Chain A
Amino acid sequence: MAQLEINNLSKIYPPDVLALDDISFEVEQGEFLVIIGLSGSGKSTLLRCINRLIEPTEGSIKFEGKEVTTASSKELKAIREEIAMVFQRFNLIERSLVLTNVLTGQLGELSFWRSMLGRFPEEMKQTAHEKLKTVGIPEQAFKRADELSGGQQQRVGIARALMQDPKILLADEPVSSLDPATSGTIMDYLAEINDQGKTVVTSLHFLDLVRKYGTRAIGLKGGKIVYDGHPKGIDDEKFKEVFGEEAEKVHIS
């Protein structure tokens, strides 16, 4: 049994925009799966369907054998605790402290009243500091999130994801808002997480990053899978098929 099984998944945005068209694939534990495709090809929608930030229209998603699409809100919360997510625009709570942002990763395990009052247990705070150290910014813990640079904010985003101790890490264009040097650092963190046996599913724009980090690539075009295989297998022709005639522009070395 694969860790993540997706069968015949479709998503239609009202009234009639077909974002995902009958998609099926499986993800094994420990894979570094990269999803490529032009903007609007359905990458974000696919990632968000996996943890149901977006409700799929049809099809099934099985996470470790549990059906996600029909899960009750309680089951869904439990599933989401196992699946962390990192976002293109970081999605930090900008006016809160960095530490608070990291701590929100473990909200699922906190009682209602404790979370309402913002009383996080000491050991949880300790873990949060450790995660910040993991991503190399332990000294920023008590700053406001919006005081940080883009790269630092994304590191906070990763720390928040790590806080969940997830089995799968979803990353939606994690480096698209960053400069090339910072992008490398962030991707290295993702690779490190992957080395610890966690599955990483990420969407990316740049082919060289795909080739360098991915163990498998899925190409999306118009909501359909047009490529599924090893990144090395994407030759220029295949690349053009996925990205269309804009290929040269996207290819940055």
Chain B
Amino acid sequence: MKKPKRFTFPDLSDRIKPLLLDWLIWGYLAYTVIFLLDSYWYTQYVDWYGSLTLPPWGWALTVLGTLGCAVASERFGISVGLKTIKGEERSPQKTWALTNWGITTLVLVIFTFWVGWLTTDMEIGIITRRASKTSHLWYGLSHPDFTHLINIDPELNDTILGSLVDTLFMAYLATVIGGFLAAPLGFLGARNIMGGSPFRKTIFYITRAFFNVVRSVESLLWAIVFAIWVGWGPAAGTFALLIHSMAALAKLFSEQVESIKKGPIEAVQASGASFWQIVRYGAVPQVIPQYTAFLLYRLDINVRMATVIALVGGGGIGRFFFYYKSQLDWNQVGAVTIVIATVVWLLDYISGKAREKIV
């Protein structure tokens, strides 16, 4: 069949994307270089990184200069952007480290490491110099004081064991309720189900954005919100874990729905089953086991988080940890730490084994 020749607009994304990527790399390189110059040659008169000797036109120069570098690198055939976006094959005899990709990665990693070292105030010497400051900590850990394991601490009005049960229950409730709410959300966020009409697509994007935003805020930050909302205590912690779990599980659930295999559905369909029968026998069995495994994994994560959520008023065993730590009662801190480590380790082990069995 012959196709009539039509004028087609050149696909700009194919040309612009590589250039943007190259520009980004060069720009980042310039950023690190300026940072390093500022860090090593800073004087009252030459502040590279601030705005003294790098006034607006300096930044403009940097931006244009890096753009120039990007264009030049495409000219001379050393563009990483072209290789990445167009997915050029690399010759197998060349060692990876010697390809453009390898060299670029290496340079970027070295510079990032260098800048990172300076920006995070790394000072290895301080570890040995101040090692003595931690002696009471190690002493406390090796001489744990388990008095309040089953005896009520009047200050906190609970026992360590009691708050441990709280911690586990918080994680459990958050996982179960979060997991339950995540399933319908997950369907709304699955591309293959919500494709088609623009209306469905809008819902898809809104749902996806919703759970990506919620997921990006750590449950510890959610706990701050809920501590303000419902007051300090395990309920706040549970709500925080719940909303974060719901978003995270909804994402996993939707990915699971997206990866449903066509075959079994075809087979059920071919036997004359109705729509709901196809869902029940073709789709659901493909999703449930993996989702159960995710739930177990999530329970594991939630228990870990629940041990520290008390830091911002979320309740649980962390209350004891942070309280004793503030009292500098290191022996009791040691005891709580040991309890936390044991329980988390145990749960990690059990959940791992259970997941192995399910999937």
Given A93-B281, A93-B286, A95-B289, also A51-B270 (CB < 8 A): yes
Q: What are the interface flags for B273-291 relative to A under an 8 Å C-beta threshold, 1 for contact and 0 otherwise? A: 1101100111001101100
Partner of B280, one of A78, A79, A116: A116
Contact of B272 among A77, A87, A96, A100 (CB under 8 A): A77
B266 contacts chain A at the CB level, 8 A cutoff: yes
Of the candidate stretches A1-9, A59-67, A107-115, A190-198, the one touching chain B is A107-115
Bound Cα distance from A34 to B184, whole angstroms: 45
Bound Cα distance from A99 to B276, whole angstroms: 20
Inter-subunit contact B266/A53 (CB<8 Å): yes
List the B side residues contacting A104 at CB < 8 Å: 267-268, 271, 273, 281
Say if the beta carbon of B263 comes within 8 Å of chain A: yes
Query: Is B272 in contact with A92, judged by CB distance below 8 angstroms?
Result: no
Does A19 make an interface contact (CB < 8 A)? no
A54-83 Cβ-contact flags toward B at 8 Å (1 or 0)? 000000000000000000000011111101
CB pair A160 B271 closer than 8 Å: yes
A95-B285, A96-B285 given; A105·B264 CB < 8 A: no
A80–B272 touching, CB < 8 Å? yes
Q: Does B269 contact A (CB under 8 A)?
A: yes
- B1 in contact (CB, < 8 A): yes
Tell me, yes or no, whether A106 is within 8 Å of chain B by CB: yes
Does B271 contact A106, Cβ atoms closer than 8 Å?
Answer: yes
Also in contact, A107 and B271, with CB within 8 A (given A93-B281, A95-B286, A96-B285):
yes
Could you tell me the distance between the alpha carbons of A204 and B269 in the complex, rounded to whole angstroms?
Answer: 23
A85: nearest chain-B partner, CB-CB: B270
Q: By the criterion CB–CB under 8 Å, are A53 and B271 in contact? A: no
**Is A91 an interface residue when CB atoms closer than 8 A count as contact?**
yes
**Is A245 on the interface with B (CB-CB < 8 A)?**
no
Provide the residues of chain B in CB contact with A48, threshold 8 Å: 266
- Secondary structure of the B contact surface, majority rule: helix
Give the Cβ gap from A72 to chain B, nearest Cβ, in Å: 13
Interface residue A94 (Cβ < 8 Å from any Cβ of B): yes
The number of residues on chain A lying at the interface, defined by a beta carbon within 8 Å of a beta carbon of chain B, is 37
Give the shortest distance, in Å, between B294 (CB) and chain A (any CB): 15
Contact across chains for A80 and B271 when beta carbons are under 8 A apart: yes
Contact indicator B289/A108 (Cβ below 8 Å): no
The chain A residue with its CB closest to the CB of B279 is A116
Q: A211 within 8 Å of B by Cβ? A: no
Given known contacts A16-B1, A53-B266, A87-B267, A93 and B282 CB-to-CB distance under 8 angstroms: yes
Q: Assess whether A224 is interfacial by the CB under 8 Å rule.
A: no
A116 to B280, CA, bound (A): 7
Asked whether A107 lies within 8 Å of B268 as measured between CB atoms, the reply is yes
Residue-by-residue, is A104-137 near B (CB-CB < 8 Å gives 1, otherwise 0)? 1111101010011000000000000000000000
Find chain A residues with CB under 8 A from B277 CB: 107, 110, 112, 115
Q: How far is the CA of A91 from the CA of B285 in the complex (A)?
A: 13
Tell me how far the C-beta of B133 lies from the nearest C-beta in chain A, rounded to whole angstroms: 54
Closest to B278 in A: A107
CB of B281 within 8 A of CB of A107, answer yes
Are A91 and B264 within 8 A (Cβ)? yes
13 contacts between A and B (CB under 8 A): A79-B272, A83-B270, A85-B266, A87-B263, A87-B267, A89-B263, A91-B266, A93-B282, A95-B289, A107-B272, A107-B273, A115-B273, A170-B270
Q: Which 7 A-B pairs have the closest CB atoms?
A: A108-B272, A91-B263, A80-B272, A81-B272, A91-B267, A85-B270, A107-B273
Q: B interface vs A, CB < 8 Å?
A: 1, 263-264, 266-274, 276-277, 280-282, 285-286, 288-289
A53-B269, A105-B271, A164-B271 known; 18 new pairs, CB 8 Å cut-off, are: A76-B272, A78-B272, A80-B270, A81-B271, A85-B266, A90-B263, A92-B264, A92-B267, A93-B282, A93-B286, A95-B286, A95-B288, A104-B267, A107-B272, A107-B273, A107-B274, A112-B274, A160-B271
